[in-house]
Structure 1
């Protein structure tokens, strides 16, 4: 079935009555329904809002303070109605103005019936496709919003019982200490560790979900990068074993940079904890800070198990882990989140590694301006 068989409603905007009537007759002979003829931009806008036609044939030169192109712009802003321009001449400047408004076609006077019919069919078809695309985009946006809401709810629903378990474990721990036995129940220690691991995984899933759909934004503040790195290493001391030597080296005077402290904390914590975790036999783990070309360079080195070139290619993908990790636990989400954080700052991240020879991760972050 073609568009003419669907009784398409058309509004004609034309200030020459003779031309408008002739156009109306041609359209009616093709099976279209003419729902109005107006001669000015103001009337066209009013009628478009009242009758919501399926298509508007818009003469560029019309009566009133605004021409057909300006009228089309206003109609496009208010209503989703396809517009075909009509004119007796076609200079380059006019064509360019018409194209910039996103028109659905262009017809030169005098109108040829076959050309008129074909242009209308193409315009209606293009508009239908545009409507479908808008619906798909809206559906995708709704799914993203629903997914984000789901993760937020899941995080809350799962984190609440985890908090309860954590508090219960701490009460048991205090109870053991008060008895003066001096020996903590191993089950209590396992519970606390499991809760900590699960809480960390929930945090990672929530952050990754937000990052993937553009829900994470930069909150820039000026920070002392040297002091910041020192504080991160102090926080990580509880997971450092006797077999590890964790050091911090800086190759620059204390430098101040505009960064997102919360995201940078997540980035460094992830990289350093990985360096410790994937060095099960111990060894040196270092964080190095330098500054070059208005960029902060953070380098995390370890002497751990390393990884193959194949694993490095998949390193920043979700749930991807090295083939040689063995029983070392991990979700495969951390480095994916790190990559998102680096990208948000407009920086770069690179990895150098080899099996049994450790891994070096280099993060470069530009000095960013704070927009007020």
Structure 2
């Protein structure tokens, strides 16, 4: 979606007046409106509440007792305004703090007009899609006879703009702007990762909607389950850190079964990515494959944060997340979808877990071999 620049009001938070004026001139040249210029965190919080700008350009090092990242965190708690950080340097620790505060971008000084313009447009697009996503999640949680139809419409409405953001990020990545220095490439990578996360959430919501409406059906195919598990573990390698050890255990003879390939892929990917994600300190993550009592048994183990017995009872409910997940991001939809997939196959799923000891999911699906 295109945003008319003349309708966008921007608040500048910068303690160097000359830099602020120069930035203001560049923005006005690009057609944006300047809602105000402030030099401290306290003033930024006050002005943001008063004028509610469409976007804030926040210098990380500013006057006062709190820096730009702390200021942005406070603003985000009160107002839904996209914030882009600006700074003269970009060390990894600062980038991590900025990312954790929920920023919509990162710009290095001195500012180049094309990079400034592109980053603002992407930030505004991301924010608009985030607002729509929140509405969609609320809709998914609500009880409505027309929920399935509405979610399907919203899915298609959101998917096209997400593709546009992804393509814009790739164009920015390929442009001369990102050749030097290295840091802007990290910024583009974060944009692409955010789009990927949002697309995944959209797929989850659509699948859950179909399942609850009884429109999620099985398409069974004969499958070499052993090879299939190996391919999924290879797909997950990019999210495995140096602290994790990914293991696969299976009998020597290949196992075959009639299963829905797409749904099984979703099931195993969800359980394994959760095992990695909820093991922030690393450790062993294993997928064990076996056959027992005419059933294929998938066992996913980790050595992560675990869960309480109380939470285990809510595990497969929508939007439920454990009280000990901290800052680990998630929608609370994945395991609910996994349960639907298991039920469709006529299988069972169980869990064994303990706080700080890890979690084991055991999925048993009917076995129909050659």
TM-score normalised according to structure 1 size: 0.59
2:285 and 2:292 map into 1 onto residues whose CA distance is 23
1:186 Cα deviation (Å)?
2.8
| Superposition misfits of 4+ residues, deviation over 6 angstroms | none
What stretches of structure 2 of length at least 5 have no aligned partner?
1-142
What does 1:181-192 correspond to in 2, within 5 Å?
181-192=181-192
1:261 and 1:163 map into 2 onto residues whose CA distance is 26
Q: Helix, strand or coil for the counterpart of 1:245?
A: strand
Q: Helix, strand or coil for the counterpart of 2:174?
A: helix
Q: Residue in 1 aligned with 2:162? A: 162
TM-score normalised according to structure 2 size: 0.59
Paired residues of 1:252 and 1:290 also in contact (CA < 8 A)? no
Q: Helix, strand or coil for the counterpart of 2:363?
A: strand
Higher-Rg member (1/2): 1
1:213-250 CA-partner distances (Å, limit 9, x unpaired): 11000000000000000000011111111111111110
2:218 and 2:176 map into 1 onto residues whose CA distance is 45
Q: Residue in 2 aligned with 1:291? A: 291
1:195 and 1:277 map into 2 onto residues whose CA distance is 18
Paired residues of 1:315 and 1:335 also in contact (CA < 8 A)? yes
Q: Residue in 2 aligned with 1:216? A: 216
1:240 and 1:177 map into 2 onto residues whose CA distance is 30
1:251 Cα deviation (Å)?
2.6
1:360 and 1:196 map into 2 onto residues whose CA distance is 27
What does 1:220-235 correspond to in 2, within 5 Å?
220-235=220-235
1:151 Cα deviation (Å)?
1.1
2:284 and 2:267 map into 1 onto residues whose CA distance is 20
1:262 Cα deviation (Å)?
0.1
1:176 Cα deviation (Å)?
5.3
Q: Residue in 2 aligned with 1:72? A: none
Paired residues of 2:294 and 2:368 also in contact (CA < 8 A)? no
1:301 Cα deviation (Å)?
0.3
1:325 and 1:305 map into 2 onto residues whose CA distance is 8
Indicate whether 1:347 and 2:347 are aligned.
yes
Cα RMSD after superposing both structures = 2.0
Q: Helix, strand or coil for the counterpart of 2:247?
A: strand
Q: Helix, strand or coil for the counterpart of 1:273?
A: helix
1:181 and 1:225 map into 2 onto residues whose CA distance is 46
1:190 Cα deviation (Å)?
1.7
1:359 Cα deviation (Å)?
0.2
Q: Residue in 1 aligned with 2:267? A: 267
What stretches of structure 1 of length at least 5 have no aligned partner?
1-142
Paired residues of 2:295 and 2:366 also in contact (CA < 8 A)? yes
1:184 Cα deviation (Å)?
4.5
Q: Residue in 2 aligned with 1:328? A: 328
Paired residues of 1:342 and 1:365 also in contact (CA < 8 A)? yes
Quickly say closer, same or farther: Cα 1:190–1:179, change in 2 above 3 A: closer
Q: Residue in 2 aligned with 1:308? A: 308
What does 1:163-178 correspond to in 2, within 5 Å?
163-175=163-175
